[in-house]
Structure 1
Amino acid sequence: MNGVPDEREAFASFLLRLRGKGIVARNLISAFEATPRRAFVPDRWQNVAWTEGMIPIECGEAVEGPDLQAEIMASLAIEPGHRVLEVGTGSGFSAAVMARLAARVVTVERYKTLSELARQRFEALGLTNAFVRHADGSQGLAAEGPFDRIVVWAAFDSMPRSFAEQLSSAGVMISPIGPDEGLQTLTKLTKIGSRFEREDIGTVRLQPIVRSVAAVI
């Protein structure tokens, strides 16, 4: 990994944490290593870019810690030919990592500022298979589906059944499901026929899904 020694040390600590959780997939680790996380977080948070906690970004939002991102990507088991939909672009880091694993990543963001910044970062890294859409992603993006994998970085209050038709056969969606306040269940939904097979894989505390596009920012 390129970068100053403290960044390499921080990344090494991140890898140790992943190994402790049983996440050892070489392709996933290589995708994280090839994606400069510090380029996706504000200057004031550079020194904690690889720590577990969430990091504040523009528009009053926050980017999930790399540990949670890695755990979810490991559960998604993204393969080279996959088409991926991400709801909640944030800084664009998770989409950039997934673009190194998949054939195509479409990421949807309700804030225009965040979508533009992510697009600039993808261009700077030469990622030609990551595409940003400034739109309301609460119902997915049916016009660009179907998708083999879907990840949503915000919580639904009930099973998001409208996404089933946007998944390919045996496709996988991961999203939190639960109340706006408190802990939510991180849920893996696998499409079997026209229904979902549900597997609960953890607990998280993320913002509820917002059903609109930001009017100004």
Structure 2
Amino acid sequence: AMVTWRWVLPLLAAAVMVNAEDGEQKSFVKVLADSNFEHDTQSVTGATTGDWFVEFYAPWCGHCKSLHPTWESLAQKLNEEKEAGDVTPIIAKVDGTVNPKLQERFKIRGFPTLKMFSKGKMYEYMGPRDLDSLYAFAKGGFKKQDSQPVPKGWDEMSLFDKASHIYMVTIHRDMESIWEYHKAAFFTGLGFSFFCGMLFGYFLKRGGTKAKQS
């Protein structure tokens, strides 16, 4: 009996491990971040890796959680078509809360935001978030809507572009600071100028009246 259990127990443990692994569904959604986005997508540097349909999400976002199973299903469906020889976009995701450079680069102001990157252009998805609608968009529907050039990341900018960017950001900040700290003085000066104008007008009118009386 001891010999029997010596062989049975390892087999049972192996069976449990296999079942656990089978229960974990493999994800075909690529994870992108500040560190690998341009390297993997080549969104502005050649696009030789194909089209990318990217979800910008936040872990706390309820709509993102609702989209998650559909996004996984879309990735799996397109991967099956790719393995069958079809050309399909890659489905990916970016956690906007820990990738501030990408969030700023693509002006992400809400979650989830879905963008298709294709041949140096990007297309934002604004339709329903069901599998059929997302699939139709990914399979070429995005070409029917307006696009924008993919903005360059910091590493892709030329020295001139970087200098211009720093200059514009600095000027913008300075103007905001001047307005914030000196708006009280501005309104005081404006009020004083208005008062002086009224006073000047009053004396001018009074002088004209006296001249008529004399």
How does the TM-score come out when normalised to structure 2?
0.26
Structure 1 length-normalised TM: 0.26
Larger radius of gyration, structure 1 or 2?
Answer: 2
Structure ranking higher in strand proportion: 1
Higher helix share: 2
Q: Which has the higher contact order (CA 8 A, sep 6+)?
A: 2
